[in-house]
Amino acid sequence: MIGVNNCKQSKQSLIGMTLLELLIVVTLIGILAMFAYPSYLDQVRKSHRITAIADLARIQLELESSYNGQYDWHKVISSGKCTVCLSEQSRFVFSVTSSANAAYIIKATAQANSQQNLDSCLQEYNVDYLSLDASNKAFPLSCWQ
C-alpha cells in the first residue's frame, strides 16, 4: 500500500472540437456566406447608385444656379471628373450634353471595372447609366425611387 494513496484519482476531460464538428461549422458558414455576400454586394451597389443620383441633382442645381442665358457645365464637369460630386470616379463617370429636345442631359455612367454596371436596377432596364434632364425627367425612373 505504499503508492496507492499518492496516486492522482481525478479524471481530466479533453476540451476541444472533433473534426466532424469543425466541418459542420465550416459548412454552415459557407452556406450563410453563399446567400449573404451577393446580398451585401447588391446593397453596396445600391448605396453608390443613391450617391450618384444625389450627385446628378447636385450638378443640376449647380447648372441652374449659374445660368446666365446659357448653361456652362465645363466648371462642373471636366473630362469626366465632377468637381461637386461625392461619387467615386471608379464607379460612375459623369457627363453633360445638350440636344434639340432638352437644354441639357446629365448622365452618370456606371463603370464595369467596379462592377457598378451589375446594379440590379440598371440591369432591369438593360442600361448602364442614370440620367436627369433640364425638365427634371429622370431615367430609369424606378431607380430614383
Residue 143 pLDDT level (bands cut at 50, 70, 90) = confident
CA distance 145 to 140: 10
Judged by DSSP in three states, 13 sits in coil
Could you tell me where the beta strands, DSSP code E, fall in the chain? 77-78, 81-82, 92-97, 105-110, 129-133, 138-139
- Please check the confidence at residue 5 and state whether its pLDDT lies above 70: no
- pTM: predicted TM-score of the whole model, two decimal places: 0.76
Domain residue ranges in the chain:
27-144
Topology of the domain comprising 27-144: Glycoprotein, Type 4 Pilin (3.30.700)
pLDDT digit string, tens, across residues 101-110: 888 899 999 9
Which tops the pLDDT comparison, 44 or 9? 44
CA distance 82 to 94: 6
- What pLDDT is attached to residue 31? 92
64, exposed or middle or buried, with CB in 10 Å at 0-12, 13-18, 19+?
Answer: exposed
